[in-house]
Structure 1
């Protein structure tokens, strides 16, 4: 009999629009390879960019927030594993899973640490360094409580693992470092990438609804691109991303070579046409999918410390630039120097093949699942804080949800 996985999605996955969407598709593929039948449920409305999960044999279920119909659904499905897509879904549905499916393993996929993203955003707006005053915010308490209530939480970045283990003293048995699951780039694939001479222009890419991406776009427009364009007057910057609003489209200026291209149907195609990716990310968290898209397609990049976090172990690399003038200088040099460009392209392939081997991480994930499954009761008994939070949160969220349902009926 097939094992059953229920994914409760914050949104329906959009792998062509966001790194989070790609991440979800990788997790689905992993569980299917391990023999799980997969059901994906979400209370979110589907967008035109949502992937049709039925094409890969995943059942799609629309669920309601604060509604007891979910209880009947969960009880009938009786999943072996429940995967919460971000802590917000665990807050909404975790207590219902605990009541209806107490033996189901509960996994939280954080995507990235939302509290860290929020802390960095506020510190950026205040023009201050990120301190504990920013880190210890309300989102921090909610997200860490969610981690404790789950049997296992998937952490996408080594930097975020370190933060959780060292600052918040979360036991390693509750955490698993699981970055993007990338297939190795073979020598043959590396050789078939477009060459330095075959490429032209700069590229930026990212979902425009994501605040770090929109901020980076404005920073490119107002600061970075002006400096590059002065030295490379014929170069263009092609800006791709889903959900381009009117305020994004208004940044388009052909005379400046700053072009808003909108949604990229094939990221690999536009990456292999481009010579250099510009990713001046000034706040955020997690891994940046755009860097992985670039490395997979042999496209060197210039980014910031925040952008490179969890990807580049040596932050002293020349392509990690937090000062605008240095960012501009390196981008121009990378665009003009074939030897530098080739060296960085090879480094990108090496990073993927040595630090993000899909096979290694899938084995580790599978091993951890077996350990938790083998003695779930003992695993939960060792997580006493989780039991305390489960008890109190179960009561508070349960009756708040029931009150909302009664109010809406």
Structure 2
């Protein structure tokens, strides 16, 4: 008998993946690896420009195709490709291309990689801005970190961004969610059917048994893409409030701040006399993390789960963060460091972990246990593939059960389609 045709996956990327620049890029590569392990054929496409830290997809046997927004050339491309599965990287790609996929490849399973709930992150950012507008010298942000789930829904529900994002989730056959907190929020408050959601956190191949010893480590470290607004806000909070408190107790302490795409406003914070070093992009993030004694992640807003914190656990480096930083990451297990809600408490916890070898090693062991329990690729990769295959096998009934999604596709995609076609017609050279 002839060999069966391999499953063909088309990924439509918001950007080309940069696993060494962002957690989103790392997660995309982990998903790709799970597909490759099944022998699936992958085509990666994106309308974005090429970033300087782009992953080499070709070396993995992945076809790379540049596509255009609002251009019917995509219709020809996807018709000829005829993928079995289409994965949209973030909801904006589902908005742009979802109706074209449905029109030309109606039997292709449509999967949305949410990365995180951007509408949740945006609502929290607006809250923080309002709070800081009232008083920029506030130390304690506990009221922002622990709202009831219903209160969070109320903050999100009226926003255009939330309505667009939740609509894209309903229109998709399956949505990959990185955070259990966000799954609960979608089910309990937005009434998204559980059948549309799949928990797919960050993944690690294995958990190291040995790390660089405590005695050989030095300095505090912060790392994150500066284009990501929560990271920039965290750096500012460290510079203005947290780091001065740490230096009062540890006058010779050094903080090394690494980040891809460092803007001038960040390099302007570089001040060796204060022990505050802005060092641009780290060529090997895991190496610098492995040699640091403490990872600082004082995030005042954000969503999803945090790649920098997962990397810290992978390197045996205790972290100090906020409830937003730890959200969705540890379930009922002990945290790999400290979770605090004010600048003074964050500074105190950081100093304690830095100086106390016993506390430091306990936090390290907690990180190992967390990775083993929640983040192994050997568990989440096959689970993802199994869930996709189950959806494909019962796709007709799966879609029939999602009447809200069908209704939204009927109406919303008409408006999206006509807007896209209008833009394409507008962009054509005049024949007059």
1:362 Cα offset (Å): 2.0
Question: Map of 1:202-213 to 2, 5 A cutoff?
Answer: 202-213=220-231
State the match for 2:202 in structure 1.
180
Equivalence for 1:394: 413
**Structure 2 partner of 1:30:** 34
Instruction: Provide Cα deviations, 1:197-241, integer angstroms capped at 9, x if missing partner.
Output: 000010000001111000000000001100001111111000001
For the residues of structure 1 that align with 2:84 and 2:273, how far apart are their CA atoms? 58
1:171 alignment partner, one of 169, 181, 193: 193
Question: For the residues of structure 2 that align with 1:316 and 1:4, how far apart are their CA atoms?
Answer: 41
Please report the TM-score for the alignment, with normalisation by the length of structure 2.
0.92
Aligned residues: 405
Match of 1:309 among 327, 339, 361: 327
2:124 corresponds to 1:105 = no
* 2:333–2:370 Cα contact (<8 Å) kept: no
For 2:358 and 2:334, how far apart are their aligned partners in 1? Answer: 20
Alignment partner of 1:229 is 2:247: yes
Paired residues for 1:61-80 under 5 Å = 61-80=65-84
Structure 1 CA distance, aligned partners of 2:400 and 2:216?
A: 59
Secondary structure of the 2:338 match is coil
Can you list the C-alpha shifts for 1:267-299, whole angstroms capped at 9, x where unaligned? 111011100001100000001100011000000
Matches within 5 A, 1:184-223: 184-185=206-207, 189-191=208-210, 193-223=211-241
CA offsets 1:77-103 (integer angstroms, 9 cap, x no match): 000000000000000000000001000
What root-mean-square deviation, in Å, do the aligned CA atoms of Structure 1 and Structure 2 show? 1.3
CA distance 1:228–1:30, shift in 2 (3 Å): same
Cα pair 1:308 1:315 within 8 Å, conserved: no
The answer on 1:381 being equivalent to 2:385 is no
What's the offset of the Cα at 1:163?
0.2
1:356 corresponds to which residue? 375
Query: Partners of 1:315 and 1:139 in 2: how far apart?
Result: 33
Q: 159, 163, 171: which is aligned to 1:149? A: 171
Structure 2 gaps of 5+ residues are 132-142
Deviation at 1:393, TM superposition (A): 1.7
Of stretches 253-262 and 130-139 in structure 1, the one that deviates more from structure 2 is: 130-139
Residue in structure 1 matched with residue 120 of structure 2 by the alignment: 116
**Following the alignment from structure 2 to structure 1, what is the Cα–Cα distance between the partners of residues 282 and 13?**
24
Q: Contact between 2:91 and 2:112, CA under 8 Å: does it hold in 1?
A: yes
Q: Report deviation, 1:359.
A: 1.9
| Residues 1:258 and 2:280 are matched in the alignment | no
Task: After superposing the two structures, state which structure 1 stretch, 72-81 or 366-375, moved more.
Answer: 366-375
- Given that 2:43 and 2:63 are in contact with CA atoms closer than 8 Å, whether structure 1 keeps it comes out as yes
Matched-pair contact (CA < 8 Å) for 1:42–1:62: yes
Q: Specify which of 161, 179, 183 is matched with residue 161 of structure 1.
A: 183
Equivalents in 1 of 2:333, 2:302: separation in Å?
Answer: 17
Alignment partner, residue 352 of structure 2: 333
Asked if the contact 2:299/2:325 (under 8 Å) is kept, the reply is yes
Q: What do the CA deviations read for 1:101-122 (whole angstroms, capped 9, x no partner)?
A: 0000000000000110011001
CA deviation string 1:298-347 (max 9, x = no partner): 00010000000011335996700011111111100100011110000010
Gapped regions of structure 1 (runs ≥ 5): none
**Which residue does the alignment assign to 1:8?**
12
The corresponding residue for 1:126 is: 130
In the TM superposition, residue 66 of structure 1 has moved relative to its aligned partner by 0.2
Matches of 1:24 and 1:363, distance apart in 2: 15
Q: Return the alpha-carbon distance in structure 2 between the equivalents of residues 171 and 106 of structure 1.
A: 16
CA distance in 2 between counterparts of 1:108 and 1:393 reads 17
CA shift, 1:357, in A, is 2.2
Separation in structure 1 between the aligned mates of residue 424 and residue 357 of structure 2, nearest angstrom: 63
CA contact (8 A) 1:122 1:134 kept: no
Aligned to 2:386: 367
- The answer (yes or no) to whether the contact 2:290–2:317 under 8 Å persists in 1 is yes
CA distance in 2, matches of 1:366, 1:68: 31
Instruction: Answer whether contact 1:110 1:154 (CA < 8 A) is retained.
Output: yes
